Structure 1
């Protein structure tokens, strides 16, 4: 759709009106009509034939008053007509500008809707064209906006009746299944069974937020289904599962070299920055953890699970139920119920420690004793002589030590007990960009591959 016509500025309208009024005023400055300075031939001829004295031409005072009143009334009439016409013109221009703006807004909304429905994916993910074309054919009118309502029978068939062989993961009251649509495209279906009001609230929250959020580092919600007491959410499929599985599963992080881990940290920071700084009002995730960081086939990271997310910058105790996962919850939120964006920054710091050290946030030391990664690592993170020895063995001695110290410093700042001491996620983002190679989305230019045991600087 073309751009709407640009309305004439109001300053121009008033300028035209002023010129019109000035011309009328010039026409009758002294209350008499303007006469041509060149006398007509007839009047000259008449004066020669019938010479009259000045006294005979001078009107009486009564006549002069009558003429002035007539001229004044004529002047007021023309002025009134000019003002009315100018006002009508201004109102017409304002109305046309308003109509043009409304048309422009509607056209933009239509374009935005089309953009949302496009099947493009960022950061190298698989195209969603086959999935969205299938789901869009099932679109129905919904209060959830643009998200398709998907038929239960389709999801049941796509997951082989929700068979155990298709389970990708599970949570407190949910299971995630791999769904195949016509064998051409794949999606992830989160099936929520039971859970009561909390389950329903998280389901509604996820639809409300992910239905309008589009970002390369936030997982895409493709649609949803309501079938009796069962609620289902359909997401893009992330082929490499969660960060938790990659770090703490059977592979123990072997598929995640140093630069890939830094790229994952950068992706998470970008997703959080979008939520904190570019969403209006801001969104606080409230449950950021490695199991909610999903990885696609190229290990691009995306934040998922917005069931506990809240809108707004500050939330105090009493107005919000304390929720989250042990080990990731910020101390001020856990103890005082104070929730801000800095709570997400704390959780990000824990995830960064997981990437750096390869340890879980909370580990059992004995049947009734646990140790947090913060308590264990904090004394050693700031000691340059000890830091290299506590790094995950999979990546130990594979990075530039200067970069290792920088990442450790960022992590230490993020997990400070006092929220005001923690950096904004934007500051974290800018600290990580120079540590990630250009081809992975950062600014680091790698000169040569890092040998497995070489600690010398090979990048600048």
Structure 2
């Protein structure tokens, strides 16, 4: 519109104000092409959309510009509008505060429940940072690849079998030999143990620890893939009458040293402080050069840097290798692994399996047998006969000595693995005299029967008493009040 047309339209609207809006606080009149509005408080804070030129000489002054408020004193907003604005301001302030308080309370409740559940259930702590997840994802293998590598898990590729399942030999593309650990549906190693082993082995790198090649979790299969060990596990050779002669003293001493260094890495040298909890001859694998590698970390536990021990109500492991405080009270620490290592040393030197069963062919456990010969000075008599007579007797005696120090009943009396490695490598370190080992059974009388004097004193009590009394006469044990 031209300014003249706009002013003419506006001039026609203005007379209607006094007729229809007299006494009103505000209002609006709509024309055909323009409209007029006024209020007692500002309703538009911007600049005017259209500034009309000043009227010419002789022309009556026109109204205020379009969309501009009248040039009158601005009154205060009406009481109702003020109340509404006040209520809106209060709601705008209080609602975020209330929401923040509720969110804080919910977060606190969730943290409290999580903490109480952790204390009550005491679950295993697994590393779950992105680096761990990424390292695991890089190890994922296809089931089809493993089926092809093992010829669909053919029986001819079977390497061994245990409570967890079967181990198969396989060959990956590129001629890399592998050992596939196939967990059975009824395996004692559940998904938590599998996850535990997966995370720990993926993060640990040492020449005396078995290397994890990959993992497969498809079609209800749980498969762990390790580097292939041509000589299998230590027990398959050490306790085999026909194969034990493959292990001369040089190989056995290197095996002892390798296991000690692997344990030292787990306990002291790695970024993670790990307790294996199931160290035994069957969990020590041997490569083509008889270098030992510790395996099977399904029962391993991760400790904090300042943590010295822990307690569990689920004692798992292998009897004969368990430390007494772990078997009896569920208390485990790095000294529990030291005890297992001590048993391993004695088994390697003597070629005998440790047995704690009363009905076994071996009438006394290995620790008691070694202690008896140690105190009598006839320790050479129980050395493995498959070793040549040229074996260094002083080195073998030192290993027996270290083994007895590792199987002391009090964990505080057992050396750290770093100390053990120094003892093994040095000829100048003086060794303290060992005390009677744990689980020791002492020979009594001419009957060659044995009395239990270790922490398992209450186990098989009737059996031990029957052996102490061939005529089955009861024995009264007097105790002072």
In structure 1, what is the equivalent of residue 256 of structure 2?
265
In structure 1, what is the equivalent of residue 386 of structure 2?
394
1:379–1:196 distance in 2 versus 1, CA, 3 Å = closer
Q: What is the DSSP-based 3-state SS (H/G/I as helix, E as strand, rest coil) of the residue aligned with 1:211?
A: helix
Structure 2 Cα separation of the partners of residues 367 and 274 of structure 1:
36
Q: What is the DSSP-based 3-state SS (H/G/I as helix, E as strand, rest coil) of the residue aligned with 2:222?
A: strand
1:261–1:367 distance in 2 versus 1, CA, 3 Å = closer
User: By how many angstroms is 1:160 displaced?
Assistant: 1.1
User: By how many angstroms is 1:196 displaced?
Assistant: 6.6
Structure 2 Cα separation of the partners of residues 350 and 184 of structure 1:
37
Residues 1:412 and 2:404 aligned together: yes
Gaps of 5+ in 1: 1-140, 436-460
TM-score (norm 2): 0.58
Structure 1 Cα separation of the partners of residues 422 and 360 of structure 2:
42
Structure 2 Cα separation of the partners of residues 250 and 369 of structure 1:
16
In structure 2, what is the equivalent of residue 339 of structure 1?
332
In structure 2, what is the equivalent of residue 161 of structure 1?
152
Q: What is the DSSP-based 3-state SS (H/G/I as helix, E as strand, rest coil) of the residue aligned with 1:283?
A: strand
Residues 1:305 and 2:296 aligned together: yes
Deviation readout 1:136-167 (Å, 9 max, x if unpaired): xxxxx965535421000111111111111111
Structure 2 Cα separation of the partners of residues 353 and 192 of structure 1:
31
In structure 2, what is the equivalent of residue 236 of structure 1?
227
Structure 2 Cα separation of the partners of residues 415 and 245 of structure 1:
24
User: By how many angstroms is 1:204 displaced?
Assistant: 0.5
In structure 1, what is the equivalent of residue 318 of structure 2?
325
Structure 1 Cα separation of the partners of residues 134 and 188 of structure 2:
20
Q: Rg larger in 1 or in 2?
A: 2
Equivalent pair of 1:191/1:232 in contact (CA under 8 Å): yes
In structure 1, what is the equivalent of residue 366 of structure 2?
373
Residues 1:188 and 2:171 aligned together: no
In structure 2, what is the equivalent of residue 287 of structure 1?
278
Deviation readout 1:144-202 (Å, 9 max, x if unpaired): 53542100011111111111111111110211100012472210000011137842111
1:187–1:197 distance in 2 versus 1, CA, 3 Å = closer
Q: What is the DSSP-based 3-state SS (H/G/I as helix, E as strand, rest coil) of the residue aligned with 2:217?
A: strand
Deviation readout 1:216-240 (Å, 9 max, x if unpaired): 0000001100023220001000111
User: By how many angstroms is 1:429 displaced?
Assistant: 0.7
1:421 to 413, 416, 419: 413
In structure 1, what is the equivalent of residue 450 of structure 2?
none
Deviation readout 1:371-402 (Å, 9 max, x if unpaired): 42112221213443x11111000126332222
In structure 2, what is the equivalent of residue 247 of structure 1?
238
Task: Could you list the structure 1 runs, at least 4 aligned residues long, displaced by more than 4 angstroms after superposition.
Answer: 141-144, 367-370
Structure 2 Cα separation of the partners of residues 388 and 368 of structure 1:
22
1:316–1:434 distance in 2 versus 1, CA, 3 Å = closer
Structure 1 Cα separation of the partners of residues 413 and 195 of structure 2:
34
User: By how many angstroms is 1:215 displaced?
Assistant: 0.5
Deviation readout 1:405-448 (Å, 9 max, x if unpaired): 2111101101111111111111111111247xxxxxxxxxxxxx
TM-score (norm 1): 0.60
Structure 2 Cα separation of the partners of residues 422 and 300 of structure 1:
25
Gaps of 5+ in 2: 1-131, 428-481
Higher helix share: 1
Which 10-residue stretch deviates more, 408-417 or 191-200? 191-200
Equivalent pair of 2:283/2:296 in contact (CA under 8 Å): yes
User: Of the two structures, which has the highest relative contact order with CA contacts closer than 8 Å and spacing of 6 or more?
Assistant: 1
1:434–1:368 distance in 2 versus 1, CA, 3 Å = closer
